[in-house]
Chains A and B, each alone.
Chain A
């Protein structure tokens, strides 16, 4: 469960990421495809070469959705309801992959925030990404 302190830390950390959504989103996806090649199986229709417009567009979309989640920490389920439906009924991405992308998002934040990605921020963000992953998989069955 996200405590009040967690929410504060998440919002503060996000302020630093908010103006870099496309850049960070793209980097997270590239890291995920490089580190966990099996994740590419969900994107047979994408050009996955370096500099791909599709990856940039998708990275921006993913981080945008996370930004929306940050604004709605008190009712994640409701705020992400459409995305939850999409993942359950259309995309059907195996939930194990949410952990893989979460790891890569955290690596991006750590790489850009450096020591500002303190243990406390790290813990809060890890909880946040777990909560988002849980919401995205809650209608799977």
Chain B
């Protein structure tokens, strides 16, 4: 089980409390598809992904980004039990979606950059460290049930 100090939990919940999940999720997913275009391989049915503008404006990208980041909120609510929280999603990503877990790490890093751009100097080095730890734990949990 991952250990979180009281300070770490505080940094996570205080940032999360100010995140607009819909906006942030849409932004993070759009950036993933733009910065690492090969990730588009999972979204053939999303329609127009032909340019950054198209991706950012794509309603399916926005909706899916919101879904993904909402799910991330479950980790924030269950910091002491992240592995179990994501057990079913892990199986889904392996058995149905066939997503290489490397993609979880890529998205995690992108999320950090989105948070930095949004919170600017409030996203201190300590904040970044805690959030990188969190995205790492989530990525690990999502890969845990792979077989």
The answer to whether B128 touches A107, judged by C-beta atoms less than 8 angstroms apart, is yes
The answer to whether A114 touches B125, judged by C-beta atoms less than 8 angstroms apart, is no
- Secondary structure class of chain A's binding surface, majority of residues: helix
The answer to whether B34 touches A117, judged by C-beta atoms less than 8 angstroms apart, is no
Report the count of interface residues on A (CB-CB < 8 A): 23
Is the C-beta of B113 less than 8 angstroms from some C-beta in chain A?
yes
Chain B residues with CB below 8 A from A110, complex form: 113-114, 116-117
Chain B residues with CB below 8 A from A107, complex form: 112-113, 116, 123, 128
Chain B residues with CB below 8 A from A115, complex form: 117
The answer to whether A119 touches B120, judged by C-beta atoms less than 8 angstroms apart, is no
- Secondary structure class of chain B's binding surface, majority of residues: helix
The smallest beta-carbon distance between A25 and chain B, in angstroms, is 14
Is the C-beta of B129 less than 8 angstroms from some C-beta in chain A?
yes
Contact with A along B112-144 (1 / 0, CB 8 A): 111011111101011011001000000000000
List B60-91 residues whose CB lies under 8 Å from chain A.
none
Spell out A's residues near B (CB within 8 Å): 27, 30-31, 34-36, 103-104, 106-108, 110-115, 117, 119-120, 122-123, 126
Can you list 25 A-B pairs with a CB-CB distance of less than 8 A? Answer: A30-B125, A34-B125, A34-B129, A35-B128, A36-B132, A106-B113, A108-B116, A110-B113, A110-B114, A110-B116, A111-B117, A111-B119, A112-B120, A113-B117, A114-B117, A115-B117, A117-B113, A119-B30, A119-B31, A119-B35, A119-B55, A122-B35, A123-B34, A123-B52, A126-B35
